[in-house]
Structure 1
């Protein structure tokens, strides 16, 4: 049976670091339209997708929940988030990480997008 998931693409190796519970914040220049985001599919890809319509092959690695988003603070810079701090960004708090038993090849796209998949094994 097919199910629709909301997905977020993340450049390698950060997707794997989220899947392993190492990376607990995702830093973005924008906020999601609504919270919480439950069962958000993390798709790891190779390149930053900076233009509307950009997409490339990726690998779905985990399901997560984004419970909250706050202004990114300078004291949150670290190996699990970023190598430097800049004002005006948002920290997405990642929780309830569920590693997929089998990574799945899917397309990586910009922002939050919809993807139809068979029921995932976690």
Structure 2
């Protein structure tokens, strides 16, 4: 998706959390911000679009709160929005990093082996029917 960029202003900072299977929680900063596109004002929260940005999860709420202060209330930031629907925006575009590649590698290897197995079976079937 092609995103357009605009200036935005942070209006509030919060923390969000998610439970872990072991009963503990992880915490992350979340910012509410406003921005204007074609004369219309929008308000959004940095965590509302799944996979819309790289969330930094922390074991402690205080650490997430401290990270939230990296964009204090009133600060000017860039927001990236969908030009077809400007109400959909993110502060940080999600990136695909080395960690993602490492997690994806086993899937890609299994998929490649499955495709090879299917092609081999088709070749055997084609050679056996002649």
Q: TM-score normalised by the shorter chain: which range applies?
A: under 0.3
More strand by share: 1
Q: TM-score, normalised by structure 2?
A: 0.22
More helix by share: 2
Q: TM-score, normalised by structure 1?
A: 0.23
Higher relative contact order (CA 8 A, sep 6+): 1
Greater Rg over alpha carbons, structure = 2
